[in-house]
Structure 1
Amino acid sequence: MDAKQLLILQHSLGLDQYGRGEPYRNHFVTGEGSKDHADCMALVDLGLMTVRSGSALSGGDDIFRVTNAGRAAVAANSPEPPKITRSQQRYLDYLEADCCMSFGEWLKWKTRVAAAAREARYV
């Protein structure tokens, strides 16, 4: 399996390029003559995907699904995500909070919460 085929498997499952995320789908639709069809057929030959002939729902294109072996291959072959700095992690935490504050306001709020927690330990 090459890097492009790994990306196809990851995309089919709804994962990022590092294999992270919760799989929320399991399909890849492409037809003969497209740039991805040959790679998908190679993945079928490897037992990492299955293929079903297209229907009106898929516009006549083939529908590919990832097998359990394909899921295992994604887990085994996905690269490690890059290391991030504390600052980058803090910003990702802010995005995850999905709050109505600006980043600066959120940082001040987090500082106040941390200070209150420290004070509570000493009381």
Structure 2
Amino acid sequence: MADTAAPATPGPDARKLEILQHTLGLDEYGRRRIDRNHFVTGPGGIDHPHCMALVRAGLMTRAPGNPLTGGSDLFQATKDGRAYAAEHSPSPPRLTRSQRRYQEFLDADSGLSFREWLQADASTRRSLADPSTCEQPGRERCR
């Protein structure tokens, strides 16, 4: 007999984890995408009650709205909030060899097409992935 149950919707704790991950610039697996620590929402916003619950739990702090935030409250993750996000984020899925290679290409952000990147030798790929080499001659494609 086929399972006809409705798909599970994320519970309140799942939404709180998503808010902490977004606040800290993490992906859904807790890996850093960008360096940040802020979340802006105001009373009446869909995430405001979740953020207030995180403040009560000691996982976030709240600063009242100001002109810079458009009058909305500014929330920041605390040390405990960072630890919570790290502890409760799931492990990333296991990637195949091809998926890992493509992820390396994306991480390198070399300016090369995937085909060009594949044709480059391993030492060239490593140097393309190293941002400190962008100052070297011949690295016009670095941003």
Interval containing the TM-score (normalised by the shorter chain): 0.7 to 0.9
- Once residues 36 and 76 of structure 1 are traced to their aligned partners in structure 2, the CA distance between those partners, rounded to angstroms, is 22
State whether structure 2 residue 55 is matched by structure 1 residue 44.
yes
Structure 1 residues 70-100: Cα deviation after superposition (integer angstroms, max 9, x where no partner): 0010111001111110000111112223334
Kindly indicate whether structure 1 or structure 2 has the higher relative contact order, using CA contacts under 8 Å at least 6 residues apart. 1
Match in the other structure for 1:119: none
Alignment coverage as a number of residue pairs? 113
1:63 partner SS: strand
Runs of 4+ that moved beyond 6 A: none
2:72 aligned to which of 40, 47, 61? 61
Structure whose CA Rg is larger: 1
TM-score (normalised: structure 1): 0.82
- TM-fit CA distance, 1:52: 1.1
Alignment partner for residue 33 of structure 1, among 44, 48, 58? 44
CA distance in 2, matches of 1:27, 1:54: 13
Q: Relative to structure 1, is the Cα distance of residues 109 and 74 closer, same or farther in structure 2, using a 3 angstrom cutoff?
A: same
Tell me what 1:85 maps to: 96
Is the partner of 2:36 in helix, strand or coil? coil
Aligned to 2:121: 110
Q: CA, structure 1 residues 68+23, in 2 after alignment: closer, same or farther (shift >3 Å)? A: farther
What is the alpha-carbon distance in structure 1 between the residues aligned to residue 107 and residue 33 of structure 2? 15
Q: Distance in 2 between matches of 1:42 and 1:69?
A: 14
Specify the SS of the correspondent of 1:16. coil
Letter in 2 for 1:14: G
Hey, what's the Cα distance between the residues in 1 that align with 2:99 and 2:53? 38
Identity %: 55
State the distance in 2 between where 1:52 and 1:78 align. 26
2:82 is the alignment partner of 1:71: yes
Q: TM-score when scaled to structure 2?
A: 0.71
Unmatched tracts of structure 2, length 5 or more: 1-11, 125-143
The partner residue of 1:20 within 31, 53, 56 is 31
Q: How far, CA to CA, are the matches of 1:48 and 1:37 in structure 2?
A: 14
SS of the aligned residue for 2:61 comes to strand
Distance 1:50 1:99, change over 3 A: closer
RMSD: 2.0
